[in-house]
């Protein structure tokens, strides 16, 4: 018995078989475009300029900058910190003075106001102490509470304080 398969069917079957076995090309893989090189320059924080005072002083005050520092050998070890100082009616004296005495819980004998962490250094009862740094003082150098504590702890009688205009 002769079974004749129509030629058309044979061709379709062979083509179907071949197309199933022939590897298809893979879809193109997108290549990532090169990302721009981001380079961050290596920088360090700028070194602040040294306080404007002499090397031998332990505390430096700049009235014009409204700042103060604690120093060792002319280099800042604390600060700059904001300050308030005397206004036109009661100016803070400029010059270099030794710390004369300290009182942690002082009260002004003239104004009756608290002066916590007082470090006296100039004639007339001029001292570093904690107080409002936004308004003029009666000649003293007012500091924030953390700064007043730091100045009180660091400064000893006899050490020099320099106050610049």
Who wins on pLDDT, 96 or 13? 96
Is the predicted pLDDT of residue 40 greater than 50, yes or no? yes
Q: How many CB atoms lie within 10 A of CB 141?
A: 29
pLDDT tens-digit map of 2-24: 555 555 444 444 444 444 444 45
Question: What's the pLDDT band for 31 if we cut at 50, 70, 90?
Answer: low
The chain-wide mean pLDDT, for the chain, equals 83
The pTM for the full model equals 0.70
Q: What is the DSSP string of 87-124?
A: -SSSPPPPEEEE--EEEEEEE-TTT--EEEEEEEEETT
Query: What number is the average pLDDT over the span 104-129?
Result: 94
Is the predicted pLDDT of residue 116 greater than 70, yes or no? yes
CA distance 72 to 53: 11
Structure confidence at residue 52 (pLDDT): 86
How many helices (H) and strands (E) in the chain? Answer: 2, 9
CATH homologous superfamily of domain 59-164? L,D-transpeptidase catalytic domain-like (2.40.440.10)
Query: What number is the average pLDDT over the span 106-115?
Result: 91
pLDDT tens-digit map of 131-164: 999 999 999 999 999 999 999 999 999 999 999 9
Question: Where do the structural domains in the chain lie, given as residue ranges?
Answer: 59-164
pLDDT tens-digit map of 78-90: 999 999 999 999 9
Is the predicted pLDDT of residue 125 greater than 60, yes or no? yes
């Amino acid at each position: 018995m002769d079974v004749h398969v129509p030629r058309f069917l044979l061709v379709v079957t062979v083509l179907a078989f071949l197309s199933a076995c022939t590897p298809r090309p893979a879809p193109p893989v997108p290549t990532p475009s090169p990302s721009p090189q981001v380079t961050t320059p290596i920088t360090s924080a700028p070194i602040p300029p040294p306080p404007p005072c002499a090397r031998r002083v332990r505390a430096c005050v700049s009235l014009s900058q409204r700042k103060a520092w604690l120093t060792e050998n002319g280099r800042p070890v604390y600060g700059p910190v904001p300050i308030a100082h005397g206004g036109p009616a009661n100016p803070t004296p400029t010059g270099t003075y030794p710390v004369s005495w300290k009182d942690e819980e002082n009260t002004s004998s003239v104004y009756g106001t608290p002066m916590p962490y007082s470090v006296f250094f100039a004639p007339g009862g001029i001292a570093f102490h904690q107080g409002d740094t936004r308004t003029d003082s009666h000649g003293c150098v007012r500091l924030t509470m953390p700064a007043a504590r730091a100045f009180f702890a660091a400064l000893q009688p006899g050490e020099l304080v320099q106050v610049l205009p």
